[in-house]
Amino acid sequence: MQLAQYILAIIGGFIVLVWGADRFVYGAAGTARNIGVSTLVIGLTIVGFGTSAPEILVSVMAAIDGSPGIAIGNAIGSNIANIALVLGTTALVSPLLVGSKILKREFPIMLFAMAVALLLIYDQQLGWIDGLILLSGIVAFTLWLIKAGRSKTNDKLLQKEFEAEIPRISLKIAIVWTVVGLILLLISSQILVYGAVNIAKYFGVSDLVIGLTIIAIGTSLPELATSVMSAIKKEHDMAIGNIIGSNMFNLLAVLGIPAIVASPIPLAAEVITRDYMMMLGLSIALFIFAYGFKGPGRINRLEGGLLLLTYFGYMGWIYISVTTEQLA
């Protein structure tokens, strides 16, 4: 009976979390448009932050609840899921072409941020100073995005795609949806963490594994929906940009905030040797596929299939690791 309760908490939490994130982004983007923020700045910042809101709130709630492993697993696992599962699936639906100049500049920044984060976690713990460094990074990245979005030579291709997606609603309605979305995110993240923590205890697995698998997949659902719909509409740069922006927020904010809330957070060795290396390897693969060194980048169906197979292989790796630990 208790197991069914925990499963329902996870399923219900995910459903409300995804819908709440959608309403939050809808309202926040509408509010920003009403007060005169450019569509490119809205798309690069608010939409990127909004699709990462589930990861941020789940990780904060988990850290407060004394389950920092969920927070760490959620941050790294969501980035792995975003690249391998979300982009892999999206490329199978429709091969992706990347022509945006801004996105090409974001790739090296993302890889640099990953290198810095790796140095911070190399001692197998995250302290509050590490958290401040990571949060400083997300502030700097956001300011850079705002500057890029306001540039006179800004990205017309990406701006056109965002223009078609950002809602035109009244300021009053936009504010209402922003508040409603935020409330739903707060409530659903608490329910989700409750179910996840108890599922971990019930099956005798670590919080980290739950964060890397169930939570990471669930909190990546907004990115999956956004990217697939963008690909179907031929808004390829938006699909890729959604993932890059989300991964930057996950890496810097989703890791950084729990580090401050629950400092210090100890990290198991496999977080670095298995999970972080997988995230870094997939990010490098994405860079090679999508950067386009002599023209537009491209992720074709074959590459999408390889990304998806890599994700299934990674899930199998975790399963074998957990099974081996339980038998030992």
Question: Which H or E run contains 96?
Answer: strand 96-98
Non-local (6+) Cβ contacts of 119 within 8 A are: none
Distance CA 61, CA 46 (A): 22
Please state, rounded to an integer, the average pLDDT across all residues of the chain.
85
What percent of the chain is predicted at pLDDT more than 90? 32
Write down the domain spans for the chain.
Answer: 2-327
Pairing type for strands 96-98 and 297-299 reads antiparallel
- SS3 of 128-175: HHHHHHHHHHHHHHHHHHHHHHHCCCCCHHHHHHHHHHCCCCCHHHHH
pLDDT at 161: 64
Residue of 282 and 55 predicted with greater confidence: 282
Question: Which H or E run contains 299?
Answer: strand 297-299
Block residue for tokens 């990462």: 52
Contact in structure between 260 and 283 (CB atoms under 8 Å): no
Tell me how far the alpha carbon of residue 230 is from its chain's centroid: 17
Q: Kindly compute the dihedral angle of the four CA atoms of residues 251, 255, 257, 259, in this order, to the nearest 10 degrees.
A: -150
Read off the pLDDT band of 76 (50, 70, 90): very high
Rounded average pLDDT over 299-322: 93
Neighbours of 170 (CB within 10 A): 10
> Is the per-residue pLDDT at 147 higher than 90?
no
Tell me how far the alpha carbon of residue 313 is from its chain's centroid: 20
Distances (CA, A) of 247 to 55, 199, 302: 10, 26, 23
pLDDT at 311: 96
> Is the per-residue pLDDT at 164 higher than 70?
no
Q: Which two tokens stand for residue 149?
A: 């979005």
> Is the per-residue pLDDT at 105 higher than 90?
no
> Is the per-residue pLDDT at 169 higher than 70?
yes
Query: What SS3 class is residue 127?
Result: coil
Residue of 8 and 294 predicted with greater confidence: 8
DSSP string for 226-265:
HHHHHHHTT-HHHHHHHHHHHHHHIIIIIHHHHHHHTPSE
The CATH H-level (homologous superfamily) assignment of domain 2-327 is NCX, central ion-binding region (1.20.1420.30)
Query: What SS3 class is residue 293?
Result: coil
Backbone angles phi, psi at 284, to 5 degrees: -65, -40
Distance CA 51, CA 253 (A): 13
Backbone angles phi, psi at 233, to 5 degrees: -85, 5
pLDDT at 315: 95
Q: Which two tokens stand for residue 212?
A: 């890397």
Tell me how far the alpha carbon of residue 256 is from its chain's centroid: 14
What residue type is assigned to position 242 of the chain?
Answer: N
What percent of the chain is predicted at pLDDT more than 70? 91
pLDDT at 302: 92
Rounded average pLDDT over 204-220: 89
Neighbours of 266 (CB within 10 A): 11
Distances (CA, A) of 134 to 78, 169, 302, 310: 17, 35, 35, 28
What residue type is assigned to position 75 of the chain?
Answer: A
Distance CA 28, CA 20 (A): 12
Question: Which H or E run contains 298?
Answer: strand 297-299
> Is the per-residue pLDDT at 280 higher than 90?
yes
Read off the pLDDT band of 114 (50, 70, 90): very high
Residues in the chain: 328
pTM for the structure as a whole: 0.88
Rounded average pLDDT over 191-215: 89
Cα-Cα end-to-end distance for the chain: 29
